[in-house]
Amino acid sequence: MTFVRGLWKVVVAIKDGLSLLFLILFFGLLYVILSATPHAGGPTHGALALTIDGPIVEQPAEVNPFAGPAPREYRRAELVHALDVAAQDPRIQAVALDLDIFAGGRQTAISDIGAAIRRVREAGKRVVAYATAYDDDTYQLAAQADEVWLNPMGAVIIAGPGGSNLYYAGLLERLGITANIYRVGTFKAAVEPWSRNDMSPEARQANQALADALWSQWQEEVGRARPNAQLAAYIGAPGDAIQRTNGDMAEAARAAGLIDRIGDKTAFKARMAELVGGGEDGMPGSFRAVLYDSLLIRTPLLGRGGNIGVLTVAGEIVDGEAGPGTAGAETIVQALEAGLRDNRLGALVVRIDSPGGSAIASERIRQAIVNVRARGLPVMISMGSVAASGGYWIATGGERIFAEPSTITGSIGVFGVLPSFEGALRNLNIGADGIRTTPLSGEPDILRGPSDEADRFLQMGVEGTYRRFLALVSEARRLPVARVDEIAQGRVWDGGTARQLGLVDQFGSLEDAIRAAAERAEIPEGNIQPVFLEPEADWLTRWFGGSARVRSQTNVSPDPFARLARRPQALIRRALDEAEMLLGGAAIQARCLECPPSYDWPGETEGGSLSWLLRLAGGR
């Protein structure tokens, strides 16, 4: 009996311990949920406090709550929306634009936000920008403000587009690895890093023309915003400008008219307090601030219900399903079908911001768009910063294409890369042999190298896909196939040139495309209600992911020289990413690797095939 009573006490103790543990976990989870979920509280009067402490993207990637600190990604459309609300809301008197650790974005996206800043100024409200370092992206945005502030220890460093890429042909030869390349297009430079140690004349011609066009547009935009700035002289000889001020970089930028005031962040905030009043806490440098997240919650962009569907194709185009920020074909098609089912749509706008990817996935999305047109709905295409290769493939499904002068598009070409290791095995005295029953048995053979029949088969697959690409463009753009072939060949174009070539119908933003879609659907302008057709985030992302909206974490230094150091880091990281995309992606790809990345964010890269190759080459 004593034993039974003792056993019972043990069971009761375990039960009480588990109950206590459950309660602790429950209240801990409840605390996390309540603290992670953003709320619409906070001031509604004062200056819109817009601290962009991450990159600007078309569609933010899904937040992984267990992956550790990550930069917050800012949706381009939400930034534009918030600035437009600020322009119209009489309670918001100014905008405080803090760009101290801004991680950049593509040129077109920044131009759209710059246009929204100009609308705030046209509404009679002052916009004040601050940073310790202004690079190309940061200054393109800040130049649109009424006042540009620079930290006394800061600098303006404008480099313009350009730089070196990595070429791996020599490395592969050293390792005994053969890059079997299947391609169509004189300018499809995506495969050149695997076949050369330098840039081909054709790729140099195309890339230089694109860089020159984008650089010219950047200078024109910034020049209009800062007409009195000695922009060309400062950019052409920054060392001379700094020498004239005895090495004072901030004073050199002010002397050249690039900035208006020199001061630290406390002085910047004190200036905002002059404009809109001091903060309730009474702390030095505080001002009445309307929080960006609270504003978005009160006046959300991504509402439910509407008559103009906006379907976003952002990031790499891949087969199957994928989270936000990557264009998973099945995910996008399902979102489109759900949007058509749940809304009374009168028209569709497809927003593309993608350098391409899988040809099959691109066709899957294009066909879904064609099916919408078959139902009698007008379909407009809105190109963001990049709509190239597979992105342009999808664009052929619409009836009218809107782009902007700095949009990167074209790259109408197809390729495939298959590594084989016959040389590496030979160097290691390892043999590879086997049997076959057909010419394609065991092919493509990455151990002994693809057979002639496999090479022929793969090349014909690439050529067939390219012919289909040309036919789609020919039909959509009403151009002869021979003419499309002339302007295709894998070459990348800026939006202005693409319009002259007939690849684009007109210049315009997403908002212009929405208005055009409404006009075609005979929807009065006052009744236009856009609805973004995107899958709803799961409960885990909504609860835990909300913390990224409130507490963005970053390890970026505002130091101007740290921004220079980001460039070589980004080069290596991009090389690793490209290797993974080529070696681990679809067999036949319509992808633009010449297109610049959306932003350069320093961070850890897991690496993969290329990092393994580099370790081999280094004997590690």
Q: Which residues form the catalytic set? A: 188, 389
444's CB contacts (< 8 A; 6+ apart) are: 180, 418, 420, 450, 454, 458
CB neighbours of residue 178 within 10 Å:
19
Q: Using an 8 Å Cβ cutoff, are 113 and 77 in contact? A: no
CB neighbours of residue 441 within 10 Å:
11
**Torsion sign, CA atoms 141, 147, 153, 157:** positive
CB neighbours of residue 145 within 10 Å:
25
Taking each continuous run of H as one helix and of E as one strand, the counts in the chain are 24, 22
What angle separates helix 201-225 from helix 107-122, to the nearest 10 degrees? Answer: 10
| Partners of 128 in the β-ladder | 96, 147
- Give the gyration radius of the chain's Cα atoms: 27
What angle separates helix 107-122 from helix 76-88, to the nearest 10 degrees? Answer: 10
Pairing outcome for strands 317-318 and 327-328: parallel
For residue 396, what are its two tokens?
A: 């052929």
**Among residues 591, 575, 585, which one has the least CA distance to residue 171?**
575
Q: Using an 8 Å Cβ cutoff, are 131 and 264 in contact? A: no
| Partners of 379 in the β-ladder | 348
What is the distance between the terminal CA atoms of the chain, rounded to a whole angstrom? 67
Distances (CA, A) of 277 to 129, 284, 289: 17, 12, 9
588's CB contacts (< 8 A; 6+ apart) are: 182, 358, 359, 360, 414, 415, 416, 461, 462, 465
Strands of 375-485, DSSP E: 379-388, 400-403, 408-410, 414-420
The beta-carbon contacts of 115-121 under 8 Å, at least 24 apart in sequence, are 115/80, 115/509, 116/79, 116/80, 116/83, 116/84, 116/87, 117/83, 117/141, 117/144, 117/145, 118/144, 119/83, 119/84, 119/87, 120/83, 120/86, 120/87, 120/95, 121/146
Q: Using an 8 Å Cβ cutoff, are 395 and 443 in contact? A: no
CB neighbours of residue 604 within 10 Å:
7
H/E run at residue 75: strand 74-75
Residue 214 to residue 207: CA distance in whole angstroms:
11
Pairing outcome for strands 589-591 and 356-358: antiparallel
